[in-house]
């Protein structure tokens, strides 16, 4: 089940209202009246400034995949056989958990920058070639300004969908415990296990599966 934080989501509406195309983003009253839209993203409601189409949202990214390529210096060995991310170092050379975290942070930052740029480009061209006059006709802002629903963004939507976040988090917790804290396994052993899909390493696999999970206070 999801947890919605009214204080955080209200502040989010106010923050992104600063990027309004016409300086007409969320007022404090409107921000406090937010509701869930799409995949549980907070949004404004009413006849103006509400999210008008599904494609106003963002794209998806996969933190678990980002973790996988972090352990391979940005290289995707399991699917595309391509260098997908920046070279952030050989994981077997990481001396501390902080080294792993910093490499992951850089990979994540690079990935989300691509997603945001893709969203910006797609939203621009949607406004040019995907007009929606009926939707515009029921939005007071579009009618007042004479602009199409796909082109007007009085209240920008920051929504993006990170899928498998908890998988990446649990993986990091397991690596912290078994590799960096207890030193039961080495990073080289883990990398080799992943490349062999844990074949013949069932006990090691169980150790990683049974490691503490993020958010469980253990």
| 71 lies in some domain | yes
Same domain, 168 and 193: yes
Split at pLDDT 50, 70, 90, the class of 159 is confident
Let me know if residue 216 belongs to a domain: no
- State the Rg of the chain over Cα: 22
Q: Nearest 5°: CA angle at 148, between 147 and 150?
A: 130
Assess if residue 44 is contained within a domain. Answer: yes
What is the C-alpha separation between 85 and 69, in angstroms, rounded?
7
Q: What is the pLDDT of residues 191-209, one digit of tens each?
A: 999 999 999 999 999 999 9
Q: Residue 152: which of 22, 42, 57 has the closest Cα?
A: 22
The partner residues of 60 in beta bridges, in order of sequence, read: 161
Phi, psi of 65 (to 5 degrees): -70, -40
The per-residue pLDDT for 79 is: 96
Closest-CA residue to 181 (of 91, 98, 58): 98
CA distance 218 to 214: 8
- Cα separation, 32 vs 13, whole angstroms: 8
Predicted confidence (pLDDT) at residue 84 exceeds the cutoff of 90: yes
Flag whether 10 is in a domain: yes
Residues 6+ apart with CB under 8 A from 122: 55
Question: How far lies 176's CA from each of 9, 61, 115, 170, 171, in Å?
Answer: 32, 23, 29, 10, 9
For residues 184 and 29, give the distance between their C-alpha atoms in angstroms, rounded to a whole number. 55
Interatomic CA distance for residues 181 and 155, integer angstroms: 46
Average pLDDT of the segment spanning 115-134: 86
Strands 35-37 and 41-43: antiparallel
Specify whether 154 is located in the same domain as 192. no
pLDDT at 57: 58
* pLDDT given for residue 17 in this prediction: 93
Number of domains in the chain: 2
Highest-confidence segment of 61-70, 121-130, 207-216 = 61-70
Inside any domain, residue 69: yes
pLDDT at 194: 98
Amino acid 58: pLDDT: 62
Instruction: Select the more confidently predicted residue: 217 or 188.
Output: 188
95 falls in which pLDDT band (50, 70, 90)?
very high
Within-domain flag for 115: no
Q: What is the mean pLDDT of residues 40-54?
A: 84
Secondary structure of residue 161 in the 3-state scheme: strand
15/91 same-domain check: no
The answer to the question of residue 124 being in a domain is no
Residues 12 and 46 placed together within one structural domain of the fold: yes
Within-domain flag for 18: yes
Residues 145, 177 within the same domain: no
Which is nearest to 174 in space by CA: 32, 20, 71? 71
**Is the model's pLDDT at 53 over the cut of 80?**
no
Q: Is the pLDDT of residue 40 over 80?
A: no
Q: Are residues 10 and 30 in the same domain?
A: yes
Domain residues for 91?
A: 60-96+164-209
Q: What is the value of pTM for the model shown?
A: 0.84
156 and 69, same structural domain? Answer: no
Regarding whether 38 and 15 lie in a shared domain, the answer is: yes
């Amino acid at each position: 089940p999801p947890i919605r934080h009214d204080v955080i989501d209200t502040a989010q509406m106010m923050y992104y209202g600063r990027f309004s195309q016409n300086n007409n983003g969320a007022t404090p009253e409107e921000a406090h009246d937010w509701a869930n839209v799409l995949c549980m993203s907070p949004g404004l409601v009413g006849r103006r400034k509400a999210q008008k189409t599904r494609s106003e949202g963002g794209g998806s990214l996969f933190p678990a995949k980002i973790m996988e390529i972090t352990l391979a210096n940005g290289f995707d060995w399991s699917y595309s056989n391509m260098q997908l991310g920046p070279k952030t170092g050989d994981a077997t050379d990481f001396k501390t958990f902080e080294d792993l975290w910093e490499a992951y942070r850089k990979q994540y930052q690079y990935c989300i920058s691509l997603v945001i740029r893709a969203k910006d480009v797609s939203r621009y061209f949607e406004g040019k070639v995907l007009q929606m006059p009926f939707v515009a006709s029921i939005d007071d802002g579009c009618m007042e300004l004479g602009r199409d629903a796909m082109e007007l963004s009085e209240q920008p939507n920051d929504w993006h969908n990170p899928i498998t976040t908890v998988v990446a988090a649990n993986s990091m917790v397991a690596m912290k415990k078994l590799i960096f804290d207890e030193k039961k396994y080495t990073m080289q052993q883990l990398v080799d296990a992943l490349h062999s899909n844990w074949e013949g390493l069932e006990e090691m696999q169980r150790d990683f599966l049974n490691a503490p999970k993020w958010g469980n206070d253990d």
